Amino acid sequence: MASKTPIIGVTGGIASGKSTVARAFARLGIPWVDADDTAREVVEPGEPALAEIAARYGQRVLQADGRLDRRALREIVFAAPEERRWLESVTHPRIRERLVERLAAFRRGEAPYALLVSPLLFESGQAALVDRRLVIDVPESVQIARTARRDDVDEAQARAIVAAQMPREERLQRADDVIDNAGDEAGLAEQVAALDRRYRALAGLPGSR
Ligand code: ATP
């Protein structure tokens, strides 16, 4: 591999455990950037993307303090594919630009490898930015139960969100590595530790223990 610090893309459906996995890697000293955080950054006040969104939809997508009203924007694009595409054309290139900068900094840095955590790794083309793709896999029933519990939505709502996402099989087909997160957090930590050893070896560095 040409670059010094391999980048591992981490993805999975809603409530599959991406953040939990990222925290487990972070405990082993691995840095990460979250595409969701970056997506929020590019629409902060003062950012050109927010100005474009406000110019298209007006005050109804802004809160009193000038910040984006995400719920209002979500309602507009939810049932309007054309609006969703427009919004993505405004935000995605900017998200990608920032991610590219962050990943370049990781590649110049001292970490043995680094993570890009992104729910839309495959859908957004961000998979091309990483060296390996790690899918966090859980059966849909587990996803639905964990979403309902965490987000305080009912099962039907959770089921609808899962159904709107990339099918589990398609995600798995694109994976280089898979974590099975149907079990408990101890099982998850063991899988993360095993992958950590492999990823350190990828970077040509000695294992963690
Ligand atoms: P999203 O994409 O929706 O932000 P995510 O993929 O980052 O979600 P997490 O937030 O890490 O998922 O996990 C979803 C929920 O499931 C959380 O409440 C988390 O505590 C719980 N969870 C994750 N892994 C496990 C596990 N192995 N056992 C039990 N609960 C878990």
Q: What is the pLDDT of residues 87-118, one digit of tens each?
A: 999 999 999 999 999 999 999 999 999 999 99
Q: Is 200 in the pocket of ligand 1 (CB under 6 A)?
A: no
Structural element, H or E, at residue 145:
helix 140-151
pLDDT value at 3 more than 80: no
Atom of ligand 1 at shortest range from CA of 20: 11
Q: What is the pLDDT of residues 58-68, one digit of tens each?
A: 999 999 999 99
The token pair at 107 is 């590649």
Q: How far is the CA of 56 from the centre of ligand 1 (A)?
A: 35
Q: Is 143 in the pocket of ligand 1 (CB under 6 A)?
A: no
Q: How far is the CA of 59 from the centre of ligand 1 (A)?
A: 34
> Quick one: fold of 7-43+96-202?
Rossmann fold (3.40.50)
Q: How far is the CA of 192 from the centre of ligand 1 (A)?
A: 15
Q: Is 157 in the pocket of ligand 1 (CB under 6 A)?
A: no
Q: Is 184 in the pocket of ligand 1 (CB under 6 A)?
A: yes
- Picking from 104, 114, 117, 96, the residue whose alpha carbon sits closest to that of residue 34 is 117
The token pair at 58 is 């007006």
pLDDT value at 52 more than 70: yes
Q: How far is the CA of 21 from the centre of ligand 1 (A)?
A: 9
Phi, psi of 113 (to 5 degrees): -165, 170
Atom 11 of ligand 1 has which residue's CA nearest to it?
A: 17
Q: What is the pLDDT of residues 125-180, one digit of tens each?
A: 899 999 999 999 999 999 999 999 999 999 999 999 999 999 999 999 999 999 99
For the chain, helix, strand, coil in percent to 5 are: 55, 10, 30
Q: Which pTM does this prediction carry?
A: 0.90
